[in-house]
A and B are shown apart, each in its own frame.
Chain A
């Protein structure tokens, strides 16, 4: 996979206070990275370094020419704009025409249930609604890289689901994603791999290469007997009336489709982390 952005031995300090130390990371086309770490561990700084919004103290940040980066900040500012006005301006900066902007923002307002708030000044919106504006501005045009810093903070469950759907659509279109958040379920849903930041550097990298699908299927011995021979299946276990099947992530959609075609009941789909370094 092509590297869009690469950090080589990057360190960053603010007035002598070291925030990141000798970080190496590549953002590859179509790959999604989850960034995990405690508060103040440097996740937001790392995202800003990836975006090129902050200069590195030492090391190198390399970027492929002319890539488009969309960014959701952790703290969206209070502003004297309505969401409709604000998104109009951002749309024009992203090169959209007036009619394209209107079309996009109407769809996104509907999707994120913001129609009633679109003409209220952003400074009067709740934290969750402000964050929705931050998310919407990042979804108006397809970027090469989408950077998300605590994108769900303060958002209701329905908006969280809408957000996951929207980001999944970008993933399917080959957009690279880097997401920093505390919600493990979000990382599992949206990331191919997760990196853990502690002590100012990336300590481990986990790849979500395997999915565990838990399902029930009434009287289908053929399926159970052939399961282990299906593409990408690593192993399967039958526990009482439930089956747990371990499958390589890239084959999981295909397997799910087969199971649903055979009227199986899917109980859960989870990612398994594998430490790579």
Chain B
């Protein structure tokens, strides 16, 4: 059934115009990032991972708004599996974001944009980091859909603040350490980007996997909250 839902979501999304804004931003950022070379390997991947997080937020936010509430009601009654329906939305966006991530990671490696040789391990680390931050961005964004937040301006403002602060979290903590306990509850974007940027081979595996683990736990926590809230706050 997940296959049918993904096909349905794909048709719905591809025929809406809501994918245009995230796509344009993605392409513009892509063009700027790869306008010059050579680039430092893990610094570049740190930046593209952050970009993936932001694009994931945008795509998920747009996608969550395209299906009419009445249509959602019909699908929920037809499907009789609310968990699968909501999960399929997150999974669909993740597939889109994953394709974007693959391009972001493989393009500079294949076309020689880096200032040093790159091994397979670096690509795998970068790819996992991108996929996880993409998933995290989706799980954050879907919580701000119009069924859960009736006040759209407030929802957009909250989402922008969370995204911006998550991205620059490390810089804020360095400037004012007192804020660290408050900022730690935000999505661990800064942590994962930092670990990717500073990755220098097998000796950094433990902190890297720890950051990845935190990101996974955090994302799944949000996913569970999203599904539970959507089931509680019906139409």
Which residues of A are in contact with B by a Cβ distance under 8 Å?
A: 48, 51-55, 66, 68-71, 73, 75-77, 79-81, 85, 89-90, 92-94, 137
Contact = CB atoms under 8 A, between A and B. Distances in A.
Given A48-B235, A80-B12, A81-B11, A90 B78 contact: yes
19 contacts: A53-B76, A54-B235, A70-B77, A71-B73, A71-B74, A73-B70, A75-B70, A76-B70, A77-B71, A79-B68, A79-B71, A80-B12, A80-B15, A81-B11, A85-B11, A90-B74, A94-B78, A137-B74, A137-B78
Given A80-B12, A85-B11, A93-B75, A55 B4 contact: no
B233 interface: yes
Nearest to A73: B70
A68 B73 contact: no
Interface of B: 1, 4-5, 7-8, 11-12, 15-16, 68, 70-71, 73-80, 232-235
Nearest to B150: A15
A68 B80 contact: yes
Given A76-B70, A79-B68, A53 B77 contact: yes
A66 B73 CA distance: 17
A48 B76 CA distance: 12
Nearest to B17: A80
B234 A69 contact: no
Contacts of A68: 80
Contacts of A93: 1, 4-5, 8, 75, 78-79
Contacts of B71: 77, 79
Given A71-B74, A73-B70, A89 B8 contact: yes
Nearest to B15: A80
Contacts of A54: 234-235
A89 B11 CA distance: 10
Contacts of A73: 70, 73-74
A53 B235 contact: yes
A92 B71 CA distance: 15
Contacts of B68: 77, 79
A37 B5 CA distance: 37
A53 B16 contact: no
A73 B234 CA distance: 16
Contact of B234 (A53, A80, A90): A53
B74 A51 contact: no
A81 B75 CA distance: 14
Contacts of A85: 11
Contacts of A51: 73, 77
A146 B15 CA distance: 30
B77 A69 contact: yes
Nearest to A140: B78
A52 B73 CA distance: 10
A92 B4 contact: yes
A48 B114 CA distance: 58
A55 B234 contact: yes
A137 B75 CA distance: 10
B110 to A, nearest CB: 36
Nearest to A90: B78
B17 to A, nearest CB: 10
B191 to A, nearest CB: 37
A71 B72 CA distance: 12
Contacts of A89: 4, 7-8, 11
A55 B232 contact: yes
Contacts of A79: 68, 71
